Chains A and B, each alone.
Chain A
Amino acid sequence: MAKYYIRKVAGFLVTLFLVSLLTFAVFQILPGNPALVILGVDADPAQIQQLEDEMGLDKPIPLRFLEWVGGLLRGDLGTSYRYHQPVSQLIGNAFGVTVQLAVFALILTALVGIPVGIWLSHHSKKPYALPVSMLSQLGLSVPAFCFSVLLINIFSVQLGWLPSMGYTPFSQDPVACLKSLTLPSVAIAFGSAAVLIRYVKVSVIQQEHQDYVKTAQSKGVPARKILRSHVLRNSLIPVLTIFGMTITDVLGGSIIIENVFSLPGIGKLVSTSINSRDLPLIQGLVLYLAIIVVVCNFLVDVLYSVIDPRIRLK
């Protein structure tokens, strides 16, 4: 058992290393002089020289990578050229907004996805389930940002219930904060709930064909009880892995959605940093998001093996 976890942790560390290596490497193949790219062609040569020194461009690449990783471990990701602030500080400020959005969206996803998936596993053939199936098919195919403009059109422009853009910090006004996050979260959750519904449905149906269900039925256990204490427990195990994927989806989705709703989170920072060619900031953001994904997947993996010990034996 210890062997299983050692292997998992080793794999996790290797992935972390590879992710940082890849992020670092991509920015090294930048065509032309990075200092020139950042400052523009008509920059003062002295300024370019200064920036080159700051970035340590004269040092060999492996040394720069080591320095960069060393900085990472100390929480130092360099300084943004545009904001003249430490990258880690900028990310820290934006991170709160993205976390709130992601958590809100994940809660909505779970609250809708799991019950509807279970319900559909029993009723999907019935005519009254058709609208629900169609909605979940729409959720799978309508891009979240297209769905967002529809939501804005209905709930902000026509009805005027919810703001179409901007963000109010929770500490300032909790109600306004929830309001500002509602539409973006719904837009993200619409798609990820649809994915979850599909997996829950398939998983429940698969479990119901297992022998232990037949045994329980022949013993006369009521259907409700079979579902609750046998089928659900087993069918939600694979769903947990999907939930790991959902976290990735939600983070990926928030990059565009935050821009649709002008939320000052990580996603908004990503697009502004690319538009202003703020390389250290882009690099920091990309790495940061990737690390979150790797950590979440690792935690889901570990949780998975705790819930289903059979995994550890494979």
Chain B
Amino acid sequence: MRVSTIFKKCLGNRNFILGSSMVGLMVLLMVVGFFYMPYDPDAMDTEHTLEFFSSQHLLGTDQFGRDVLSRIMEGTRVSFLVGALTVVFGLLVGGAIGSLAGYYGGKVDEVIMKLIDTQMAFPGVLLALMLIAVFGNSIQNLILALGVMSIPRFARISRSGFIKYRDAEFIKAARSRGAGDGRIIFLHILPNIVPELIVTSSLGFAGAVMSEAGLSYLGLGIQPPTPSFGKMLSEAQGEILKAGWYVLVPALAITLLVMGFNLIGDALQEVTEHGR
């Protein structure tokens, strides 16, 4: 299917429109934040703490009187950075080992799948927590931990793609013309599984944003004073009796991103599958 038809179909898909508006809103907040922010996100103002939404502070102020909107704007950077790098890591590493397993099959496949299954035994953020416990707490280690966590997802999808195509007629034809493994893997099979990989990336992005927020909520992710949605959520929870609205802001920001990428992923899956 051609890219332009996929794009046209996406525009007619309700989930895609909804999802990309959610993500688009957050992207807008991030991009605008690079040029203009209403306040310095770290500037404290002890006379105006935990104020409700107003024309001065559109999303109110936090327990130190910092402007919540500005902090959300800066927080989007962390989310997008962590999400994007995690997906790139998972795509490269998971995609590579999944392709090897699917293409070569046999013993290689068995060993790789056994390792992937072993990794899947660590529920939720546990694996990331273990890696952070060992390597220490920093944004590089956080991305590494989330990246490792996302490997099975990418490995499985590319493995099944390679299994589907490795014995196809056009692959046999290419092989009989003398194409080597590298050429077949990269030029003949990989382009065919790009749609699946894009869907997985979108869902993986949502997963990474959610895990980062969860770990930061636990105090084991992004460290203050860098604003991160998860950290803001846990700070806001501490003030829930005084300012119940405040928890809703970071919770909504996380939800918009996670849901947006999930919806885009679902929509792309629907669109690309129908075309076949």
Identify the A interface with B (CB < 8 A): 14-15, 18-19, 22-23, 26-27, 29-31, 138, 140-143, 145-146, 149-150, 152-153, 157-158, 164, 248-249, 251-253, 255-256, 259-260, 270-271, 273-275, 277, 279, 282, 286, 289-291, 293-294, 297
Contacts and interface: CB of A to CB of B under 8 A. Distances in A.
Contacts of B213: 143, 145-146
Main secondary structure of the interface of A (DSSP, over half): helix
B125 A149 contact: no
A95 B124 CA distance: 17
16 contacts: A18-B115, A18-B118, A29-B134, A140-B262, A143-B255, A145-B233, A146-B251, A149-B233, A149-B240, A157-B244, A158-B244, A249-B124, A255-B124, A270-B126, A275-B219, A282-B130
Interface residues of B, number: 44
A248 to B, nearest CB: 5
A188 B134 CA distance: 28
B73 interface: no
B203 to A, nearest CB: 10
B122 A260 contact: no
Query: Would you call the interface of chain B mostly helix, strand, loop, or mixed?
Result: helix
Interface in B238-264: 240-241, 244, 247-248, 251-252, 254-255, 258-259, 262-263
Contact of A143 (B114, B126, B210, B236): B210
B125 A255 contact: yes
> Which of the listed residues B122, B133, B247 has the most CB atoms from chain A within 10 Å of its own CB?
B133
A273 B219 CA distance: 12
Contacts of A152: 237, 240, 247
A144 B131 CA distance: 22
B80 interface: no
A142 B125 CA distance: 16
A27 B120 CA distance: 18
Interface of B: 114-115, 117-126, 129-136, 206, 210, 213-214, 217-220, 233, 236-237, 240-241, 244, 247-248, 251-252, 254-255, 258-259, 262-263
Contact of A271 (B220, B240, B258): B220
Q: Which of B119, B134, B251 has the most CB of A within 10 A?
A: B134
A142 B218 contact: no
Contacts of B251: 146, 149-150
Q: Which of B121, B131, B251, B262 has the most C-beta atoms of chain A within 10 angstroms of its own C-beta?
A: B121
B121 A251 contact: no
B214 A145 contact: yes
Given A15-B114, A15-B118, A153-B240, A252 B123 contact: yes
A259 B129 CA distance: 14
Contacts of A253: 124
B237 A149 contact: yes
Given A142-B259, A153-B248, A289 B131 contact: no
Given A138-B259, A150-B248, A252-B123, 5 more contacts: A145-B217, A157-B241, A271-B218, A274-B220, A293-B121
A141 B118 contact: no
Nearest to A149: B247
A153 B130 CA distance: 31
Contacts of B258: 141-143
A23 B134 contact: no
Nearest to B250: A146
B247 A141 contact: no
Contacts of A31: 135-136
